[in-house]
Chain A
Amino acid sequence: MDSIPILKIGNALLVTIQVDMHDQLANRLQEDLTTRIVQHRARGVLIDISALEIVDSFIGRMLANIASVSRLLDADTVVVGMRPEVAITLVELGLGLPGVKTALNAERGLAMIGGVDGRDSTDDADDD
């Protein structure tokens, strides 16, 4: 069975999702990530979804699950590269991504990890 490669970048793990994921692959990914977070004592997980044209509730749940598990292992989860049409659709669908931080790209995402300025996708920071 194929699996999605997980890269280590500094104190974070980077996953790039490029294929249409089916159940087995998604489960495999979650397992692998959990193992690797502990193995490397990673502080963050970066999930690059810039290649995804469709994000449905299945993927949404997978992302939220990864975030929950990572949180328990003291790691942030940042989803990066969401396409505009995907964002619009998720909003219409009513599917928030609880516990998942988001950033425009991997660079920004890395900057958010382990820092205090990490912004949750549901936050509305009011700092004036």
Chain B
Amino acid sequence: MAKSTTQTALARLIADGEAAILADWVRTMSSDTRISAQEAQGQGKEFLHALGKALATGNGSDIRAPEFNAVRDILAGFSRSRALQGFSPSETAIFVFSLKQALFERVRATTGDIQQMADSVWTLSLLLDQLGLYTVETFQKTREELIERQREEIEELSTPVVKLWEGIVALPLIGTLDSARTQVVMQNLLESIVQTGAEIAIIDITGVPTVDTLTAQHLLKTVSAARLMGADCLISGIRPQIAQTIVQLGVELNVTSKATLADALALALKRTGRSVEKSKNNGKPHEPAAEPRD
């Protein structure tokens, strides 16, 4: 690809006027945003430098090209840290867009030829627009990653597996179960079964208001998977509405179901060869011999 003379000229312009451009730029940035002058100075200098080098190669029309790797890296790092600090996308993009002003000013001051000035401004405009958009994209991605991470943490916190007895665990589900959450929950349950060596897992859905086909199917798959691993499952707490929904959906719940968690526990104890008896003195602790008052 032929080197663009406009670009190489711009590269020289940036190199020659770096100090002036930087000063102008920093002034615009600081007045518009929360970026401190010192920070703006440091990051701006780095960016200008990289931009100049990229333009010097003369291949600077596509910011995705390898010549712009350094530039993109700087912007990506900048965007990411801004996103994590809670800046808005606009505040972050201003970093790039406010450079336009400073650069245009410089071009105007140093270029005599009208045609050349137009070419330079056009090239700069196209380039900086792309870079500005890139900044926003990276910002978005970082925000999304953050939200995803938080979502995962919430999921983990809200579905603990509880050991009810030796070899018996319970998974009390609360709230609506969407497809993604259900899968995570089920994996947790299976992991717990391995870790605790549980023989029976009770899935209690008292706190689940509605169940759709996908969720019902996930439940079933979890039960099947637990069986394959050598544990058994019981379901407890199915509300009447949910029972009707499941039947209407035509989902075959091939698992023992108990009305309450208590019933399920009783059955689980029985299945694991245990029974519960009332102790002789009716559960009251032995009374200590009366002690004198003083």
Q: Which residues of A contact B (CB under 8 A)?
A: 80, 82-85, 87-88, 90-92, 97, 102-105, 108-109, 119, 121-122, 124-128
Q: Which chain A residue has the least Cβ–Cβ distance from B258?
A: A128
How many angstroms from the CA of A128 to the CA of B198 in the assembled complex?
A: 20
Contacts of B221 in A (CB 8 A): 88, 91-92
**Residues of chain B contacted by A85 (CB below 8 angstroms):** 187
Closest-by-CB residue of B relative to A97 is: B228
B255 CB-CB contact with A under 8 Å: yes
Checking A104, A121, A128 against B194 with a beta-carbon cut-off of 8 angstroms, the contacting residue is A104
Q: How far is the CB of A127 from chain B (nearest CB, A)?
A: 7
* B230 & A80 in contact (Cβ 8 Å cutoff): yes
Q: Is the CB of A87 within 8 A of B229?
A: yes
With beta carbons under 8 angstroms apart, the residue of B199, B224, B267 that contacts A91 is B224
28 contacts between A and B (CB under 8 A): A84-B187, A84-B191, A84-B194, A84-B225, A85-B187, A87-B190, A87-B224, A87-B225, A87-B228, A88-B186, A88-B187, A88-B225, A90-B228, A91-B225, A102-B227, A102-B228, A102-B229, A103-B230, A104-B194, A104-B197, A104-B198, A104-B229, A104-B230, A104-B231, A109-B230, A122-B227, A124-B255, A126-B256
The answer to whether A124 and B256 have CB atoms under 8 Å apart is yes
Residue B34 at the A interface, CB < 8 A?
A: no
Shortest Cβ distance from residue B257 to the other chain A in the assembled complex, whole angstroms: 10
B250-294 contacts to A, CB under 8 A, are 254-256, 267, 270-271
For residue B204, CB closer than 8 A to chain A, the reply is: no
Distance to closest chain A CB from B224 (angstroms): 5
Interface size class of B (residues with CB under 8 A): 20 to 34
* CA distance in complex: A88, B85 (Å): 39
Residue of A whose beta carbon sits closest to that of B224: A91
Cβ contacts B168-201/A at 8 Å (1 or 0 each): 0000000000000000001100110110011100
Set of chain A residues within 8 Å of B194, measured between Cβ atoms: 83-84, 104
A127 nearest in chain B by CB position:
B271
Which residues on the B side are within 8 Å of A126 (C-beta)?
256
Which residue of chain A has its CB nearest to the CB of B226? A87
Residues of chain B with a CB closer than 8 A to A88's CB? 186-187, 190, 221, 225
CB-CB nearest 5 A-B residue pairs? A84-B190, A87-B225, A103-B230, A102-B230, A87-B228
Task: For the complex formed, measure the closest distance between the CB of A99 and the CB atoms of chain B, giving whole angstroms.
Answer: 13
A128 partner residues in chain B, CB cutoff 8 A:
256, 267, 270
Task: Collect the chain B residues with CB atoms within 8 Å of residue A122's CB.
Answer: 227
The closest CB in chain B to the CB of A123 belongs to: B227
B232 close to chain A: CB less than 8 A: yes
Query: How many angstroms from the CA of A124 to the CA of B234 in the assembled complex?
Result: 10
Inside 8 A of B191's CB, which chain A residues have their CB? 84
Measured between beta carbons, the chain B residues less than 8 angstroms from A92 are 221
